[in-house]
Structure 1
Amino acid sequence: MKLPAHNRYAHSAIPTRPRYEWPGGKRLALLVVNNIEHFAYRAGIGSDVTGGSPVQNQRAYAWRDYGNRVGLWNLLDMLDALDIPAAHNINSAALEACPEIAPALRARGDEFVGHGRSNSERQDGMWEEDERRLIHESRDVLAQHAGVAPRGWLGPYIAQSANTLDLLREAGFTYVMDWPADDQPFWMTTRAGPILSVPYSVELNDSPALIMRHQTGRDFAEMIRDQFDEMLEQSARRPLVMSVVLHPFILGQPHRLRPLRQALRHVLAHRNQLWVTRPGELADYVAGLPAGTIPGSEAL
């Protein structure tokens, strides 16, 4: 049977790949990636604290706005206290609406990652020219606020059209986090050249876990601990990437912040065994590995 295929990467089973190490001989990389989002008022799409089929009313808007008014600052205080570098998937509209955000992220040296204009829209249903415009607009606003153009991308709702990878590579992006197919990075093909897929979890991600599956903050903290303990053990056999995905309007709530902090302390108790980094730094390191080391790199 011939199924529809994407032709962006070839199959690769993780035990068959070459072995390599992260900097300093580490075998497990830790990425903490936070999503900073801005939503339209009473319009478009978006998350709702009550779960699926969200209603775009003042309650849903205000709950999400809590993330940029309060939750983000709770998370940044925690990341500072734990000395964790972070990357932020940022709606360009959030930087225009909330002028305090960009300077705070720049002061931490954190990475700005393209995340569309707003999470009130998705790009997977757009015409190619409209999607190109969205990508360029998001890139240019982030560059203005960060002082450097973003190199990574995560689409709103982790959604892509059939043309997204091509458009991103043509716009100067060098890695994406929209393809949760692996615990290692791998190269993908575009009409403009290769682009790297960096692992980004849809499992260890507070939005599907807490909003869609109605798990608790303590459930999520237990997921972090279990994921880490298992991946640390597995990393004795091969290098791996563990990503923890946060949203300020969800994990920035005080009652969820406390178990999150406890879980991250558990992880960081093993800091000497970890490469605690950002996705852009990981992508740079991978790009410097010999051809044939990373799946899809044979022809690079």
Structure 2
Amino acid sequence: MTEPLYPDFHRLDLSSHGRYDYVPINDRNDFEWPDGKRLAVYIAVKIEHFPFGEGMGHALAHPQPEPDVMNYAWRDYGVRVGIWRLLEEFQTLDLPFAALLNTALIEYAPPLIRALSDTSCEMVGHGRSNGERQSQWSEETERRMIEAVTLDLENAFGKRPQGWMGPWVAESRTTPDLLAEAGYRYTLDWGMDEQPVWLKTRGGGKLLSIPYPRPSNDIALLHGHHVTPRAYTEILIDQFEEMLDQSRKAPLVFNLSLHPFLVGQPFRLRALRKFLSYLAERRNEIWLTTPGEIAQYSASLPAGIIAS
């Protein structure tokens, strides 16, 4: 009989991140969100800035040689028009939200910064611009960027951010460690669960992963899969209703992720408004909140309740 090519293949050790253990959703400690609610819901708005003529950026059409004016201008629409329409919707419907902000906008768009300061939104660190990603840097460069973004947000809004999402949701192998060491309480980079999960970091610092699913993200659906606005709304309603049903068995987190240069376009805004109104009408059935409040509440639970 021929010897197998890989006699120890069944014992092959695969690379692991080591950030969390495998704990199935149906084998965890039960708990409730405030007021006995079972589904926590938060809205995350990515307010992003892109350098002109260089760096990375989503493309509406096939990228052109730089300066790629058409694709740059399409993205810049988000902070010139789209975000203002979203802010109006949130105010009209009294919806809380988290602003994932590139700090380059502090200098680029002062009126927008003033408008955000006048809301009760939660500010979340989102790098300097979306023309770069921290996964390509040395640890020291990444550390300095995180420190600079943190300080800029604190100076602009009077409060240190508690949460982080990297530009392009990109991490280096040490990003969670650097975030914990910089005093961050949670990250939105990891989308592996529908409950918060404690991440392991060097030195034992605590960093919570709060669910931020990619499949229902507007970039994935509207831009990546070219879903129509009406179909997008139907998908969001299905996601919400199924998660509300599933939350009877285990408390869950629903996220609505929005990019103003996408959903701020009139033909998409009209469809999104239907879902925002639907969400507002269901507010008594859910905990309508922010990721920072989810992190704070999760940290207040007895040790071992939240998976790690």
Instruction: Determine the C-alpha separation between the residues in 2 that align with 1:162 and 1:237.
Output: 34
| CA displacement, residues 219-275 of structure 1 (integer Å, 9 cap, x when unaligned) | 221111110110111111111100000011000111101111101222332211110
1:198 to 210, 227, 230: 210
Instruction: Determine the C-alpha separation between the residues in 1 that align with 2:17 and 2:27.
Output: 22
Contact 1:47 1:54 in 2 (8 A): no
Task: Quote the residue 2:3 is aligned against.
Answer: none
Is 1:12 the counterpart of 2:23? The answer is yes
Is 1:292 the counterpart of 2:304? The answer is yes
4+ runs of 1 displaced by more than 4 Å? 53-56
Is 1:215 the counterpart of 2:237? The answer is no
- Number of residue pairs matched by the alignment: 295
Task: Quote the residue 1:83 is aligned against.
Answer: 94
Q: Secondary structure at the match of 2:136?
A: coil
**Alpha-carbon shift at residue 55 of structure 1 (Å):** 6.0
Out of 232-241 and 175-184, give the one that drifted further: 232-241
2:254 to 237, 242, 245: 242
Query: Which amino acid in structure 1 is aligned with residue 289 of structure 2?
Result: T
Query: Which amino acid in structure 1 is aligned with residue 151 of structure 2?
Result: D
Contact 1:48 1:54 in 2 (8 A): no
1:273 to 285, 293, 300: 285
Structure 2 gap segments, 5+ residues each: 1-11
Q: Secondary structure at the match of 1:29?
A: strand
Is 1:255 the counterpart of 2:255? The answer is no
1:93 to 104, 124, 139: 104
How large is the RMSD of aligned CA atoms in angstroms? 1.3
Contact 2:192 2:213 in 1 (8 A): no
Out of 78-87 and 206-215, give the one that drifted further: 206-215
Instruction: Determine the C-alpha separation between the residues in 2 that align with 1:138 and 1:122.
Output: 13
Structure 1 gap segments, 5+ residues each: none
What pairs up with 1:1-300 in 2 under 5 angstroms? 1-50=12-61, 56=66, 57-192=68-203, 193-296=205-308
Query: Which amino acid in structure 2 is aligned with residue 280 of structure 1?
Result: G
Query: Which amino acid in structure 2 is aligned with residue 281 of structure 1?
Result: E
Instruction: Determine the C-alpha separation between the residues in 2 that align with 1:222 and 1:96.
Output: 38
Query: Which amino acid in structure 1 is aligned with residue 260 of structure 2?
Result: P
Q: What is the TM-score normalised by the length of structure 1?
A: 0.95
**Alpha-carbon shift at residue 6 of structure 1 (Å):** 0.7
**Alpha-carbon shift at residue 54 of structure 1 (Å):** 7.4
